[in-house]
């Protein structure tokens, strides 16, 4: 589910997706990976991201991809279940690849310490990243404690050190949670 990180890199179209390789039900999410030369015929590659590190030990949730400095970068949500409920943590993590197939994880780059006060660390996911005017920008789905879905914005000069910019709309959405927000610079939304 959740196709994400759709990008053109090294002469191929890449699509990543949440994937549980152990069952047909939702479980410890990995990032599956397919590529195409023509957007019609697709080839499955090895799993791009596997949970298991301290920052994503219970799952690698959705995110996005960007090409920068000749490398393919993935920003994704690391899921830490702990005891469930409010002890769950969702944090934004970074991985890079020189070949578009194997990825090196760099760990947490937007952690719960960058959440504004009053936001729920168990509902903080699905980063969408892009570059504009020599700066990286990222929107992340979030929720205020006791509230409904919101979208938070962050910025960075180097993909590793991020700062909070603001809550894009400043009010709760109509939905319980916003999933997989996106941004299209050409359309302006």
* pLDDT digit string, tens, across residues 30-56: 999 999 999 999 999 999 999 999 999
| 154's tokens | 């962050």
CB-CB contact of 158 with 138 (8 Å): no
Q: Please identify which of the residues 2, 53, 167, 172 carries the catalytic annotation.
A: 2
pLDDT at 68: 98
For 95-136, what is each residue's pLDDT tens digit?
999 999 999 999 999 999 999 999 999 999 999 999 999 999
Exposed, middle or buried by CB within 10 Å (0-12, 13-18, 19+), for 85? exposed
Quickly state the pLDDT bin for 186 (edges 50, 70, 90): confident
| 178's tokens | 């916003």
d(CA 179, CA 15): 18
Catalytic site includes residue 172: no
Q: Is the pLDDT of residue 171 over 90?
A: yes
């Amino acid at each position: 589910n959740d196709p994400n990180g759709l990008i053109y890199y090294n002469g191929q179209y890449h699509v990543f997706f949440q994937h549980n390789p152990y069952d047909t039900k939702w479980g410890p999410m990995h990032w599956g990976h397919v590529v195409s030369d023509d957007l019609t015929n697709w080839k499955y590659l090895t799993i791009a991201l596997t949970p298991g590190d301290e920052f994503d030990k219970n799952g690698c949730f959705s995110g996005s991809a960007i090409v920068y400095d000749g490398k393919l970068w993935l920003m994704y949500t690391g899921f830490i279940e702990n005891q469930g409920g409010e002890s769950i943590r969702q944090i934004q993590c970074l991985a890079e690849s020189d070949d578009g197939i194997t990825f090196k994880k760099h760990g947490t780059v937007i952690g719960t310490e960058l959440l504004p006060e009053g936001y729920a660390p168990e509902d903080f996911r699905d980063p969408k990243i892009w570059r504009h005017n020599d700066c990286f920008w990222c929107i992340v789905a979030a929720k205020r404690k006791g509230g409904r879905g919101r979208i938070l914005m962050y910025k960075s000069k180097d993909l590793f050190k991020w700062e909070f910019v603001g809550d894009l709309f400043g009010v709760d959405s109509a939905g319980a949670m916003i999933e997989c927000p996106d941004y299209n610079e050409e359309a302006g939304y």
